């Protein structure tokens, strides 16, 4: 059974309709969000129990839960075809691809940004990637509850499927042939690929992209953190599409 930790992630899970088995609170928790959790749990008939701080720590296991933990059976992942079909119901769908990102905090931060710009789906590689766990849930501030996520084992096949469904694929890569990220057209059906914290997107992934883009760096550091770079690219999409 998976855990959702933190006040806002638990509230977002309740509000999103996620199937929650039960919620536990550390005794004495107060505040507006706690009140909202109690109301939402009662409305959805989700069991909510208060535990002594000492007993609660046994479930918390050192994580900063803010005194709130929800238990769910598992994350509801999407099949790739279903995710693409759902995305294509919108004009100019936007899909994000995470190629072997290994830090749970980075994935959580990316999920939070992706939800804020309204991406229509996220594809994640299962090999050499961080697990989707309570750290990702908490770092995303509950955004994961509102995202369509599809874990895949073969990224090349997934990219081929996207192309067959009319998507242009744009990869973030610091290569000589990469264009400035502002020079590419992000209108239409777009999938953006971001890669591993140390190595970036893999060579064969880059070779299958329609365009490669880079973010210019003016300082001595060669690249941005992957979650920051993802935010820059996604908000450039919004800028070009004239979404305010």
pLDDT over threshold 90, residue 70: yes
- Taking residues 20-28, report their average pLDDT: 94
The superfamily (CATH) of domain 2-72 is Ribosomal protein L30/S12 (3.30.1330.30)
pLDDT over threshold 80, residue 169: yes
Please report which helix (H) or strand (E) contains residue 217, including its range: none
- Taking residues 18-27, report their average pLDDT: 92
Q: Which range, of 7-11, 14-18, 49-53, averages the lowest pLDDT? A: 14-18
Give every CB contact of residue 108 below 8 A, 6+ residues apart in sequence: 135, 136, 137, 138, 139, 140, 144
Chain centroid offset of residue 144 CA: 6
Q: Which range, of 33-47, 122-136, 147-161, averages the lowest pLDDT? A: 122-136
| Strand ranges, E, within the chain | 2-5, 20-26, 47-51, 68-72, 94-99, 121-125, 149-152, 168-172, 179-180, 190-195, 211-214
CB 208 within 8 Å of CB 169: yes
- Percent of the chain whose pLDDT exceeds 90: 73
Segments making up each domain of the chain, as ranges: 2-72, 80-240
pLDDT over threshold 80, residue 222: no
Burial classification of residue 166, based on how many CB atoms lie within 10 Å of its CB (0-12 exposed, 13-18 middle, 19 or more buried): exposed
Pairing mode, strands 190-195 and 20-26: unpaired
CATH number for the domain whose boundaries are 80-240: 3.40.1280.10
Chain centroid offset of residue 101 CA: 11
Question: How far apart, in whole angstroms, are the C-alpha atoms of residue 151 and residue 130?
Answer: 11
- Percent of the chain whose pLDDT exceeds 70: 98
Mean pLDDT, the chain, whole residue set: 92
| pTM score, whole prediction | 0.80
Q: How confident is the model at residue 244 (pLDDT cuts 50, 70, 90)?
A: low
Q: Which range, of 15-19, 30-34, 126-130, 147-151, averages the lowest pLDDT? A: 15-19
CB 161 within 8 Å of CB 82: no
Give the pLDDT confidence score for residue 3 in this predicted structure. 87
């Amino acid at each position: 059974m998976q855990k959702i930790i933190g006040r806002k992630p638990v509230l977002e899970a309740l509000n999103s309709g996620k199937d929650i088995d039960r919620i536990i609170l550390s005794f004495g928790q107060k505040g507006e969000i706690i009140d909202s959790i109690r109301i939402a749990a009662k409305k959805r008939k989700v069991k909510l129990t208060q535990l002594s701080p000492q007993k609660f720590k046994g479930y918390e296991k050192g994580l900063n839960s803010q005194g709130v933990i929800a238990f769910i059976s598992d994350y509801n992942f999407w099949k790739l075809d279903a995710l693409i079909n759902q995305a294509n119901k919108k004009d100019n769908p936007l899909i994000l691809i995470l190629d072997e990102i290994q830090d749970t905090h980075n994935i959580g931060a990316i999920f939070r940004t992706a939800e804020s710009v309204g991406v229509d789906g996220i594809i994640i590689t299962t090999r050499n990637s961080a697990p989707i766990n309570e750290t990702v849930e908490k770092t995303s501030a509950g955004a994961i509850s509102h995202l369509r996520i599809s874990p895949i084992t073969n990224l090349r096949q997934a990219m081929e499927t996207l192309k067959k469904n009319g998507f242009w694929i744009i990869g973030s890569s610091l290569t000589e042939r990469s264009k400035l990220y502002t020079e590419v057209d992000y209108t239409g059906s777009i999938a953006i690929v971001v890669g591993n914290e140390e190595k970036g997107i893999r060579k064969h992934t880059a070779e299958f992209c329609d365009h490669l883009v880079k973010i210019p760096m003016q300082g001595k550091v060669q690249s941005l953190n992957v979650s920051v770079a993802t935010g820059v690219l996604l908000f450039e999409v919004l800028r070009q599409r004239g979404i305010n």
